[in-house]
Amino acid sequence: MTRVSENSSTASLQYALNKTKAKVEDLQLKGSTLKAITRPSDNPVSNVEAMALTSSTNDNLQYLKNADFALLNLSVSEKSVEELTDIIVKAKEIAIAQSSDFFNADVRKNVANEVQQLYNQALAIANKKVGIKHIFSGTSTLTVPFDGNGNYKGDKGHISLEVSRNFFVPINLTGEEVFYNTTDTVKAENPLEKFDQFKDAPSVKLNRDLASVESEGAKVEGAEGTEDGFKSRDNIFSQLQALTSALENNDPQMIQGLLEKFDNTVSRLVTLRTRIGSITNSVESSKNNLSNENIEHASRRSALVDADVTELFSDINKQQAILKTTYQASQGLMNQSLMDFLRR
Amino acid sequence: MADLLGIGKSGLNVSKKALEVTGHNLSNVNTEGYSRQRVMQSTAIPVSVGGFVQGTGVKVDGVRRFNDEFIDKRLNTALANNKFYEARTEHLEQVENIFNELDSDGLNQVINKFFNSFRELANQPENETIRSVVRDNANLVIKDFRRIRGTLDTQSGNIDRKIQNSVADVNQLLRHIADLNGKITTIEAAQGETGDLRDQRDMALRNLSENFKIHTYVDEKNRFIVTAQGIGTLVTGLHVQELGTVTQNKNDSSNGMNGSVEVVLKDRPSQKITDLFKGGTLAAIIKVRNEDLKKLQNDIDGIAYQFTSSVNSIHRQGFVNRQITIGADGKPAAVDHKGLTTGLDFFKQPLSVEEAGNEIDLSDSVKADLSNIAAALSPNAPGDNRVAIAISKLQHERISGDGSVTLEEKYLQTIGNIGLETGKARIDSEQATGILAQANSLRERLTGVSIDEETANMIRFQQAYQASAKIMQAADDMFKTVLELKR
């Protein structure tokens, strides 16, 4: 028969009490935070996964911001190209009307003023800003892209934004690409191309160029093989200027000659608009994906970190009942000895 | 009749002694380490009178202490194991708290913010305000690296002090054991009782076991020899080999830290025995300091180094956000009125991986001027965001651990490891507590005082005492009868 000593019974009682109390304490902490994990060691794997999910969610929120910013730039560019198209269409209508011998020099002089207005509008569009940024000056965004004579002061830089992980979209057209009828476009490059650090990186997806001619196949007629001197004249501003001077000089022949150029310009602008539109769409759809992904992240994180409330509180009740029973059992054990019964 | 009186008297003596021991047991019911005692009694040597063998009563043979040295050894081992895991859990829990960032902004979140602020800068590289956000976020990263690295160092330093205290305790216990060895030998040589002293010696050994695992042998004079595996003999009879501590510099220390406290034998101060202890709190805290904390310090330094140098190597390729004069040769001027125009570090370039987590800081140029934050790959292109993009892309690049993991993965691995280690230690600790409780109850069942048992004994001895007294009274009555014959 095993002996029971005073210390062995108190020790076993203390052990039982401690164990139950530790469990109650742990459950109560979980109950007050409603979290299944309160420290890394509770579940190292879930803890680490939850932290990675938080970062990923934060990244996505930033990508959403980037996407909104890209959309802002793209929509301003699209709107500008649209307005520009309207101006050229209007100029073309004027040119058609004035290309016959129906009008005389006085009328043409008056109309020339109207074309001058169109020129000014075109210039205003060319120098449009988003925030402090001129959208048509390449990467020299703080430089006014066009002077009064329609000379381009910006550069040929393209700006890309990462709108979701490894998915870059171009957000700008340079002034040259929009206003000049030129094949001399710089292909938008992978923004990481120049960094040795990313040589081995998985290929970055780059959305199709906004303006590069070679990617499109359709070539701009009349612009091919032109000499530099001519090229610089063959732009929207020079076309409008040419129309103005033709009108002022009362030269229907020259006006007629401009018609084809206006046509080319309009079709080129329409192409640009379409491309901007398609990029806008892809940004929109990537935004949708990001939002969906974040919802998935949130539910996965909750599954990892949040406590199952029903289970938790039934556990708390159970442990508290056990604790109570232990107390009651100890009451009988601690306060009685043979002495109590020998007293007379 | 004189013999009857003598027999009665011997019964009184033994019962009184037994009652005394019962009282001693009862009064020590709550004394830690006390082993119950019991009077050993036997019949006194009988005499032969007139051809009859006649009993002469009872005598006290001695006071025996209930004790089993194997149970004691088992208890000591269980105690050393339990204390090891208990101390390990306690310290690792403190360590894991540094990395508890499920709901707070820990290092992972601030690094994430840092990279996202570069993404924001890529949206509007022209914007000076965003540059200051970038710098603020970089400062948060710096602060958090230093917080983590500094807290790890502090914990390491706390353990240093604990080692010193522990060694002082151990020395006191060793001297105490040797002292008791001497007393026990002396008293036992004079046939004295040493139960209580032996209890004290067992107790001292138990306290010693809390520090590290020990082995004990008993020599021919009932003196204990205490050894520790890998360290040698610490107590031989009256002789004590004390432990000592020395403070060592970075190169000689066992954890690569300056001012690290190392354990030595007092007589051989040049020979470190820090890593040799097994079990107990001492081995636990040394392991936490020399393995767990050291690994974390190295990991954090490695991450800080990778982080700052890779950000720098990209940042250096960029140009400052100012108008730079382009020379006649078409090359941008390398220096302007505010300093270099390209090749600038973002963070102060760390000199080595070691201490990178403590020494992380912004470069002087970024501290001095926001336009020195380079977002552009070409000069005079305020809209060029390629450097900003490239820096933000580092977040997902496998630049850590020889190019196998991203910084975030490396950091999360680090946290995962400490979580696993802490969890493991906690489970081991629970188990060891169970085993200790078992060993303790095993010992208590044999040696512990039971009030019920002592009460029963008390009644028994009291009654035996009364009965012996009655014998003496009977002898007295018989004397009286004889004496009254004359009257």
Residues of A in contact with B423 (CB under 8 A): 41-42, 44
Residue A187 has a CB neighbour count (10 Å cut-off) of 12
Domain boundary among A293, A311, A333: A293
Q: What is the pLDDT of residue B183?
A: 95
Q: What is the pLDDT of residue B334?
A: 86
Residues A296-310 as b/e (b if ≥16 CB within 10 A, e otherwise) read ebeeebeebbebeee
Give the model confidence (pLDDT) of A43-72 as tens digits. 999 999 999 999 999 999 999 999 999 999
Question: Are A175 and A280 within one domain?
Answer: yes
Q: What is the pLDDT of residue A252?
A: 85
Question: Are A276 and A164 within one domain?
Answer: yes
Helix ranges (H only) for B128-247 are 128-189, 195-211
Domain harbouring A270, CATH code: 1.20.1330.10
User: A140–B383: do the CB atoms touch at under 8 Å?
Assistant: yes
In a domain, A321, yes or no: no
Q: What is the pLDDT of residue A216?
A: 40
User: A157–B313: do the CB atoms touch at under 8 Å?
Assistant: no
Out of B119, B397, B445, name the one closest to residue A62 (CB).
B119
How is chain B split into domains, by residue range? 2-66+453-485, 71-101+160-292, 107-148+294-414
Q: What is the pLDDT of residue A223?
A: 40
Out of B397, B422, B448, name the one closest to residue A7 (CB).
B448
Strand blocks (E) in B188-336: 215-218, 224-228, 232-236, 239-240, 243-248, 260-265, 268-272, 335-336
Q: How far apart are CA B300 and CA B413, in angstroms?
A: 11
User: B448–A5: do the CB atoms touch at under 8 Å?
Assistant: yes
The structural domain count of chain A equals 2
Tell me: pLDDT of A93 over 90. yes
Min Cα distance B106 → chain A (Å) is 10
Q: What is the pLDDT of residue A285?
A: 95
Q: What is the pLDDT of residue A207?
A: 60
In a domain, A225, yes or no: yes
Out of B109, B390, B412, name the one closest to residue A195 (CB).
B390
Question: Are A102 and A177 within one domain?
Answer: yes
Q: What is the pLDDT of residue A184?
A: 58
Strand blocks (E) in chain A: 129-130, 133-134, 160-164, 167-170, 205-206
Q: Identify which of B66, B193, B71 has the alpha carbon closest to the alpha carbon of residue B454.
A: B66
User: In chain B, which residues have pLDDT < 70?
Assistant: 1-2, 103, 487
Residue that wins the pLDDT comparison between B423 and A186: B423
In a domain, A120, yes or no: yes
A137 touches A154 (CB < 8 A)? yes
User: B444–A5: do the CB atoms touch at under 8 Å?
Assistant: yes
Q: What is the pLDDT of residue A103?
A: 81
Residue that wins the pLDDT comparison between A186 and A326: A326
User: B451–A338: do the CB atoms touch at under 8 Å?
Assistant: yes
In a domain, A324, yes or no: no
Question: Are A167 and A256 within one domain?
Answer: yes
Question: Are A227 and A118 within one domain?
Answer: no
User: A35–B420: do the CB atoms touch at under 8 Å?
Assistant: no
Question: Are A64 and A143 within one domain?
Answer: yes
Out of B92, B382, B450, name the one closest to residue A5 (CB).
B450
User: A65–B123: do the CB atoms touch at under 8 Å?
Assistant: yes
Question: Are A96 and A131 within one domain?
Answer: yes
Q: Transcribe A183-235 into DSSP letters.
A: S-PPPPPPTTTT-GGGTTSPPPEEPPPSS-HHHH-PPPTTTTT--HHHHHHSB
Min Cα distance B457 → chain A (Å) is 11
Q: What is the pLDDT of residue A225?
A: 39
Question: Are A177 and A91 within one domain?
Answer: yes
Residues of A in contact with B412 (CB under 8 A): 48, 51-52
* Structural domain span for residue A209: 190-232
The chain B residue lying nearest A134, using CA atoms, is: B383
Question: Are A79 and A148 within one domain?
Answer: yes
Highest mean pLDDT among A245-249, A252-256, B115-119, B477-481: B115-119
Q: What is the pLDDT of residue A228?
A: 41
Min Cα distance B206 → chain A (Å) is 17
Q: Identify which of A169, A160, A159, A167 has the alpha carbon closest to the alpha carbon of residue A293.
A: A167
B34 touches B449 (CB < 8 A)? yes
Q: How far apart are CA B393 and CA B399, in angstroms?
A: 11
In a domain, A298, yes or no: no
Residues of B in contact with A157 (CB under 8 A): 378, 381, 383-384
User: A161–B456: do the CB atoms touch at under 8 Å?
Assistant: no
User: A191–B383: do the CB atoms touch at under 8 Å?
Assistant: no
Min Cα distance A233 → chain B (Å) is 26
Amino acid identity of residue A50, one-letter, is A
Measured between its terminal Cα atoms, the distance across chain A in Å is 30
Which residues are CB-neighbours of B59 under 8 A, at least 6 positions away?
B10, B14, B41, B42, B43, B44
User: B383–A131: do the CB atoms touch at under 8 Å?
Assistant: no
Min Cα distance A191 → chain B (Å) is 5
Which residues are CB-neighbours of B262 under 8 A, at least 6 positions away?
B245, B246, B247, B248, B253, B254, B272, B274
Out of A38, A41, A194, name the one closest to residue B422 (CB).
A41
The chain A residue lying nearest B442, using CA atoms, is: A8
Q: How far apart are CA B460 and CA B441, in angstroms?
A: 27
User: A58–B109: do the CB atoms touch at under 8 Å?
Assistant: yes
Question: Are A120 and A195 within one domain?
Answer: no
Out of B417, B437, B449, name the one closest to residue A11 (CB).
B437
The residue of A18, A43, A55, A65 whose CB has the most chain B CBs within 10 angstroms, and thus the best one to mutate to test that interface, is: A55
pTM of the model: 0.87
Residues of B in contact with A186 (CB under 8 A): none
User: B419–A6: do the CB atoms touch at under 8 Å?
Assistant: no
Q: What is the pLDDT of residue B470?
A: 95
Min Cα distance A214 → chain B (Å) is 24
Q: What is the pLDDT of residue B117?
A: 96
In the numeric block, the tokens 């060891």 are attached to B432
Greatest Cα-to-Cα distance within chain A, rounded to the nearest angstrom: 142
Q: What is the pLDDT of residue A224?
A: 40
**Secondary structure percentages of chain A, helix, strand, coil, to 5:** 65, 5, 30
Out of A5, A51, A142, name the one closest to residue B108 (CB).
A51
User: A15–B392: do the CB atoms touch at under 8 Å?
Assistant: no
Q: Identify which of B385, B411, B386 has the alpha carbon closest to the alpha carbon of residue B307.
A: B411
User: A40–B96: do the CB atoms touch at under 8 Å?
Assistant: yes
Out of B96, B122, B440, name the one closest to residue A41 (CB).
B96
ipTM over 0.85: yes
Min Cα distance B114 → chain A (Å) is 11
Question: Are A107 and A177 within one domain?
Answer: yes
Q: How far apart are CA A288 and CA A280, in angstroms?
A: 13
Residue B481 has a CB neighbour count (10 Å cut-off) of 10
In a domain, A288, yes or no: yes
Question: Are A83 and A163 within one domain?
Answer: yes
Min Cα distance A119 → chain B (Å) is 27
Min Cα distance B140 → chain A (Å) is 16
Q: Identify which of B357, B362, B327, B326 has the alpha carbon closest to the alpha carbon of residue B344.
A: B362
In a domain, A342, yes or no: no
Min Cα distance A100 → chain B (Å) is 47
In a domain, A18, yes or no: no
